[in-house]
Amino acid sequence: MVQYRERGAGNDPLNYKGTDSGSGWPDDYPNDGMLIWHIDATLNSYGTDYLYDNSYTNHKLLSLMEADGLSEIESGAYADAGDYYVNGSVFNPFSNPNSYNYSSKNTGVVVDNLAYVGNTMVGRYAIIGKSSGSLNEAVNSTLNWTTNGDLNGGTSTGWISQTGVTHDGSDSAQTGFINDNQLTWIQTSVTGPGTISFWWKVSSEQDHDKLMFYVDGINLTSISGDVDWNLLSHKIGNGIHTLNWTYLKDGSGFDGNDTGWIDEVKWVLDDATPPTVSCDHLGGLYNKSQNVVLTMNEAGSIYYTLNGETPTTTNTKYTEPITITNTTTLKYLAVDLAGNPSIIHSQIYTLDLVAPNATANPKGGLYNRAQEVSLNMDEKGTIYYSINGSSPDMSMPYTHPITIDSDTVLKYFAMDLAGNTSPVYFENYYTDFKPPVAYSNPAGGIFNKTQIIVLTMNEAGSIYYTLNGETPTTASTKYTEPITITNTTTLKYLAIDLAGNPSIIYSQMFTIDTKSPYLSVTPSGGIYNINKTVVIKMSEFGTIYYTLNGTTPSNKSQRYIGPLIISKNSVLKYFGVDLAGNPSTIYTQNYTINKTVLRVVHTTPLNMQTGFSRTAPIKIQFSETIAPYIHFNNIRVKNISTGTYLTLNSSVTGNTINLRVNHRKINTWYSLTIPAKAVKDRAGNYLLANYTVKFKISS
């Protein structure tokens, strides 16, 4: 806020400690002056009060910009006369204090040219819209720019880039802020010859404060007063030249905005270079109409002819693509805006709209040797082909005769120099250099019944054969129907294809075997007390199948490949199939594996029994059936008192041995001893140890 003060206006609102003369104006105040206040009226988040107040020293709601730059109020002192802006005072972004905001950003506020007019103080107040760009961007120029000016507020007053007043609607360069009898300038240099042009504008005191344009220090022209944007162009000669724009103020005060601007500075070198012309379809041989587009590298005009004559600026002017429908000589000339002519260009367009013809020699057919095929066309060009039956493309150009040594579909077409293509031609070549292959179904082997033999070959032709082992020829029997083989026979046959190529001589031996094989096993089935390794043999070559669980075996059962280990009770059933497919009968072997030790389970008499009958037989009952055994005579009955052994007669019934003993005495103790190896069961298991029973004969 800017506050003007008039003489005799009453007490000042500042907290000022001075002498009051009673006139309402402190005696040691200046007669008049201007106060500048920095007000930050930012609201709080609720919008109910100001965010800042004067209790925060560095960021106040209301702060006086003291003209003397001493910040006495902030340091706790009093205001004084030095706080007023008077004649000659300046407040701008470069003064102290300056017009930056609390965020240290340039506000562009300027107050200067202060003066007394009667009881009123007048001055200039402005806001400069600064841009973020450089002077180059401000004047739209890539030239190198420098700027400077007289000191104002202790700072140089060079020109600035700003957005407030522009010609291009973006930004422009504005004079620095100076006081009376000061100047500010901007300048660059160019190398001629060429033309400098620029837009400029001024708002100043008419005929006193001027914006001037200099070339090499010579003032060529100037503007003053209120002059809106206008364009100025000036020719610059050869060599290096300095271009300068200066704003100069005299001492008579100011008027208007007291500033000037320049924008859109353009430096254009004189054009002495002839233009160039390009043609999108150069002359050549074509098979259709051509639309030719001509372009030049700079602004200007193109002139052309279609009859071979040299073009001038009086000939047809190019305005749109040129259509070439027949053989034509196009000549053209370009002239740029400076009048520089290009060279004369010439393009010859030859149009050929007729398709070529092509032929192959020799043509397709059936051949018994390789063929060298030549392709020919009736005009200059290229023939393209394929030999795999696919449609030919330009990937395989014909350059020399094509070797055909197998069945081949040759496809080809011709393309002349203009790009016209013939239709696609094709030739089928058949060659047969390979002997045929013949087959017998079934092939030779061992069979168990009559065989019906079918002979075939892999291509058309004839088969000849013999059944007596002789080598067949074309004079042998010709195969026309299946051959019946009823006994062992050697079949030989030969195939001849339609090209006369003979196959190799084939020989098939057919053996007819109708007898079934027979099998043997070692050891045979039985009762055993140890694991048995069983070997099965067959009377001829073939395959043996078996089961161990008593089920009937088939050709899907387990195949016998080596000795079988029988470790438990098993019913082995097996049969064989010879190479001819004849099956044997099904054989059965029962294997009982008993590894349990034999035990005595009961005796008559019992051990230590008294009163046993003198004539009753002695009975020994075992844990399972026992086998008659030559070692039964090792069983002994002994008179314990005399040590004599009695004569025994033994017999076996199931699991019991019956002993008849004579000459037993009454009131006598006897012992019955059974050695461990004297008795065994059917599997051959013995007692674990000798067994003894003592008994006494009754009186």
CB contact set of 513 (below 8 Å; sequence gap of 6+): 446, 447, 448, 578, 579, 580, 582
The CATH number of the domain covering residues in 277-351: 2.60.40
For position 2, what pLDDT does the model report?
Answer: 53
Mean pLDDT of residues grouped by 10 in the chain (699 residues)? 44 37 44 79 83 73 84 77 81 79 78 75 69 82 94 80 90 90 96 94 94 97 96 94 96 85 93 92 93 96 96 96 96 92 96 95 88 96 95 96 95 95 95 92 94 96 96 97 96 92 95 94 94 96 96 96 96 96 96 93 95 93 90 91 92 93 90 94 92 92
What single DSSP character describes residue 209?
Answer: S
Q: Which two tokens stand for residue 344?
A: 């004369």
* Residue 223 neighbours by CB distance under 10 Å: 18
The CATH number of the domain covering residues in 132-269: 2.60.120.260
For position 4, what pLDDT does the model report?
Answer: 44
Residue 135: enclosing H or E segment and its boundaries? helix 135-138
What is each CA distance from 428 to 324, 394, 568, in whole angstroms? Answer: 42, 21, 76
For position 15, what pLDDT does the model report?
Answer: 35
Q: Where are the beta strands (DSSP E) in 134-182?
A: 146-149, 151-152, 155-156, 160-162, 172-174
Residue in the block written with tokens 């060659």 = 431
What is each CA distance from 175 to 172, 247, 359, in whole angstroms? Answer: 10, 7, 87
Residue in the block written with tokens 């069945």 = 407
The CATH number of the domain covering residues in 519-593: 2.60.40.10
What single DSSP character describes residue 136?
Answer: H
For position 13, what pLDDT does the model report?
Answer: 40
For position 16, what pLDDT does the model report?
Answer: 34
Q: Which two tokens stand for residue 489?
A: 């026979």
Classify 358-431 by CATH class: mainly beta
Q: What is the DSSP string of 527-555?
A: EESS-EEEEEEESSSEEEEEESBSPPP-T
Please report, for the chain, the start and end positions of each structural domain, with discontinuous segments joined by +: 1-6+26-127, 132-269, 277-351, 358-431, 438-512, 519-593, 600-697
**Do the bridges between strand 648-653 and strand 218-224 make them parallel or antiparallel, or are there none, so unpaired?**
unpaired
CATH topology of domain 600-697: Immunoglobulin-like (2.60.40)
What is each CA distance from 528 to 446, 564, 618, in whole angstroms? Answer: 41, 15, 30
Q: Which residues of 641-655 are buried (b: 16+ CB within 10 A; e: fewer)?
A: eeeeebebebebeeb
- For residue range 107-136, what is the model confidence (pLDDT) as tens digits? 778 887 777 777 777 777 776 655 557 899
HSE-CB at 188 with a 13 A cutoff on CA atoms is 16
Yes or no: say if 414 and 383 are a contact pair by the CB < 8 Å rule: yes
- As a whole number of angstroms, the distance between CA 542 and CA 517 comes to 9
Q: Do domains 277-351 and 600-697 have the same CATH topology?
A: yes
**Answer CATH for 438-512 from 1.10.10, 2.60.40, 3.40.50, 1.20.120:** 2.60.40
Classify residue 396 as exposed, middle or buried by CB count within 10 Å of its CB (0-12, 13-18, 19+).
middle
Query: What strands, in cross-sheet order, belong to the sheet with 381-386?
Result: 365-367, 425-431, 408-416, 381-386
- As a whole number of angstroms, the distance between CA 220 and CA 246 comes to 12
- Torsion angle of C-alpha atoms 8, 14, 18, 21, degrees rounded to 10: 20
Classify residue 1 as exposed, middle or buried by CB count within 10 Å of its CB (0-12, 13-18, 19+).
exposed
pTM value > 0.95: no
What single DSSP character describes residue 138?
Answer: H
What is each CA distance from 690 to 393, 600, 617, 679, in whole angstroms? Answer: 106, 10, 21, 10
Residue 137: enclosing H or E segment and its boundaries? helix 135-138
- As a whole number of angstroms, the distance between CA 131 and CA 160 comes to 9
Determine the straight-line distance between the first and last CA of the chain, rounded to whole angstroms.
160
For position 153, what pLDDT does the model report?
Answer: 64
